[in-house]
A and B are shown apart, each in its own frame.
Chain A
Amino acid sequence: MQITGQLALTVVMGLFLVVIAAWLAQIEDWRSYTPIGSGGATGESGYVSKEKPAGISRWLTTVDHKDIGLLYGAYGVIAFVVGGLMIMLMRIELLDPEMTLLSNSFYNSLLTSHGITMLFLFGTPIIAAFANYLVPLLIGADDMAFPRINAIAFWLLPPGALLIWAGFFPLGDIVPAQTAWTLYTPLSAGVGGGSQANAGVDLMILGLHLTGVSATMGSINFIATILTERGEKVTWANLDIFSWTILTQSGLILFAFPLLGSALIMLLLDRNLGTTFFAIEAGGTMLWQHLFWFFGHPEVYILVLPPMGIVSYVLPRFSGRRLFGFKFVVYSTLAIGVLSYGVWAHHMFATGMDPRLRASFMAVSLAIAIPSAVKTFNWITTMWNGRVRLTTPMLFCVGFISNFILGGVTGVFLASIPVDLVLHDTYYVVGHFHYIVMGAIAFAGFAGLYYWFPMFTGRMYQRRLGKIHFWTWMIGSNITFFAMIVLGYGGMPRRYATYLPQFATFHQVATLGAVLMFIGGLVWTYNFVVSWLEGPKVQDGDPWNLREDGMYTNEWQWFENKQETALADGGDEEEAVTDGGTTEAEAEAEAED
């Protein structure tokens, strides 16, 4: 029986390889490795252009940075929807302490996957989406420095997601991991009861490892691209702020993610092959926490720096002024990059580490608040006395600043040891980092999606729906996360599927906010899908009227050149009413101001 199973598996894997080989052999036809390329059996009709094959093959084989950027974007958005649905289930479970919609263990699984999905499968990839699409255009490069590595980095992500979610699929006795995204040992080393020794945890760790490899490959690519592929006129003195943040972020990834990968492999070896890196009598309970947070805190800045870059980039376009103190923002970005490596143990203040070390981490944590705060003032000053146009991307930028201040200020309190000891592991922490991750990072991501939507799709979204999306999210996120902060002050601990009756009101308030965001999410999905398919075509290369203010930039110039070279394809059926354009409604709105 055992032998038959092995044999069957061998046959299946063999067939799998044969199918791949056959497909490759077929696809060889359109690229015969000869520069002349005379052997193209499929002929001209088989090409989108002379650069790419048509149909699904185009997406499977592309090494074009723009296509890969779109793939990253689609991937990140799908992961965001999955993570969002997960949290909706959890928030419904938390409507009432007696609720039994989910079992406690399933709640723990969702909690784990929600965190990992949002951070690793949405956050990092959606940033990579913008970076892949825009950085080469912004710095005047033809493509990324290593296009094929770029494609590999993307294609590692879908298998990574499948492995991370493996426990949720009906696969025999594999159950989803319940370790929380921090994977603290000894729990995650498979010690103790429950399902911690289940293969679902191993698969999740493997998936995490893959996403880490992917991020590292991407970062090497971005560093090489920005350092070596800049156009002649693009110098350090006029490199745009988004590329600066991507460069810094890539540097952070380069040092942080390989460490995560190594720690994960040590954990896998502990779980499966009998090593004792994290055993109590060997490495101890603290080793994992130090390794994890040495990665984990830079990860916070890996996620927040590029969104700050997007805001710094988009906000001035709708303020009619240049970014105030541009170099302040650049230098403070670099400062955050360095200092983020000196603060990791502020996640561990309550672990009983030596008070001297704790004091040092507090010092650096307080120092890192300055560069972040400086940016806030820069953004506010940029809008000050500017000609502010409240388009949807601008609204998301302003929402970013507001939420970032709330999330940041609550964070400064947590950096102080005595305060942290009281609030550690409460909903206060949850509220704090959701203000940053959802209220700020995701908001900036959506600012970017709306701002560059005309470029990505060639069409315009529906502006009214965009604004509904913003307001549901702005109000919803503040209801939810402010309720969490209040819950934290009351002493509500993190990560539980139920709670004492006294917390019921604010949990219900938090769920209300989540429902509001869910509705906003539906509006957004509808808007983007419908607008992509049948939105009015963008007619010129300046849908935001940036030229009026002298704020036109490289990537729109590329877009304009593309628009002009494209054949006229009957695009005059409907007038593109752009969010930034002065239509009647816009003129009215301005008159009201």
Chain B
Amino acid sequence: MAKTVFDKEMFLDLVVNFIPLFILLFFIVGYTVYNPFGIDTTFRSLQYALIVTPFIMLTILTYLSAKAIGTSERDAPVYLPGGATVDGAEPVEEHEE
């Protein structure tokens, strides 16, 4: 078990959320490089706020949940999801798929 909960396996699992984050980033950069709608400070800042806010929120939530899951994996035996209170439940092997 690694000292930090963010090991390679964890990052592999998190790829699923990196993709939408990447798409958001793509549009943030895209709208900066290519701006067909002219200059208007209010709407321009709103435009960025509407993409940047979900980006930040998703980053935070992904981090928090990954930390919670990783910490429990490290500190307690891991059973099958939904199978922890079954009679005679055995912890599953680490990283077994």
- Interface residues in chain A, defined as those with a beta carbon under 8 Å from any beta carbon in chain B: 138, 140, 231, 233-243, 313, 322-328, 330-332, 334-335, 337-339, 341-342, 354-357, 359-361, 363-364, 366-368, 370-371, 374, 550-555, 557-558
Contact = CB atoms under 8 A, between A and B. Distances in A.
A238 B14 CA distance: 17
Contacts of A338: 54, 57-58, 61
B76 A363 contact: no
Contacts of A241: 81-82
Contact of B83 (A243, A361, A367, A553): A553
Contacts of B19: 370, 374
7 contacts: A140-B85, A233-B84, A238-B78, A334-B62, A342-B54, A551-B80, A553-B86
Contacts of A327: 13, 16, 69
Contact of A331 (B17, B31, B40): B17
Contacts of A322: 80, 97
B87 to A, nearest CB: 6
Main secondary structure of the interface of B (DSSP, over half): helix
B23 A363 contact: yes
B20 to A, nearest CB: 4
A235 B61 contact: no
A459 B53 CA distance: 50
A331 B59 CA distance: 11
Given A234-B85, A330-B65, A554-B82, A335 B44 contact: no
B62 A554 contact: no
Contact of B78 (A237, A313, A339): A237
A339 B59 CA distance: 11
Contacts of A364: 24, 50-51, 54
Given A332-B17, A338-B57, A367-B20, 16 more contacts: A233-B84, A233-B89, A236-B69, A236-B72, A237-B73, A239-B81, A243-B82, A322-B80, A331-B16, A334-B65, A339-B20, A360-B51, A367-B23, A367-B24, A370-B23, A554-B85
B23 A554 contact: no
Contact of B47 (A243, A330, A360, A367): A360
B62 A341 contact: no
Interface residues of B, number: 47
Contacts, number: 164
A326 B65 CA distance: 14
B44 A356 contact: yes
**Candidate in B16, B65, B78 with the most chain A CB atoms within 10 angstroms:** B16
A357 B46 contact: yes
Main secondary structure of the interface of A (DSSP, over half): helix
A360 B83 contact: no
Given A236-B68, A237-B69, A237-B72, A356 B81 contact: no
B20 A368 contact: yes
Nearest to A361: B50
Contact of B40 (A356, A366, A370): A356
A235 B78 contact: yes
Interface string B12-56: 011011011101100100010000010010011011101101100
Contacts of A138: 82
B4 to A, nearest CB: 16
B82 A313 contact: yes
A463 B31 CA distance: 55
Given A335-B16, A363-B51, A370-B19, A238 B65 contact: no
B56 to A, nearest CB: 10
Given A237-B72, A367-B24, A554-B82, A331 B47 contact: no
A237 B67 CA distance: 10
Nearest to A137: B85
Nearest to B67: A236
Contacts of A325: 16
A386 B72 CA distance: 29
A234 B37 CA distance: 52
3 closest Cβ contacts across the A-B interface?
A240-B82, A363-B27, A235-B72
A351 B10 CA distance: 43
Nearest to A337: B61
**Candidate in B27, B47, B76, B85 with the most chain A CB atoms within 10 angstroms:** B85
A326 B75 CA distance: 20
A554 B20 CA distance: 33
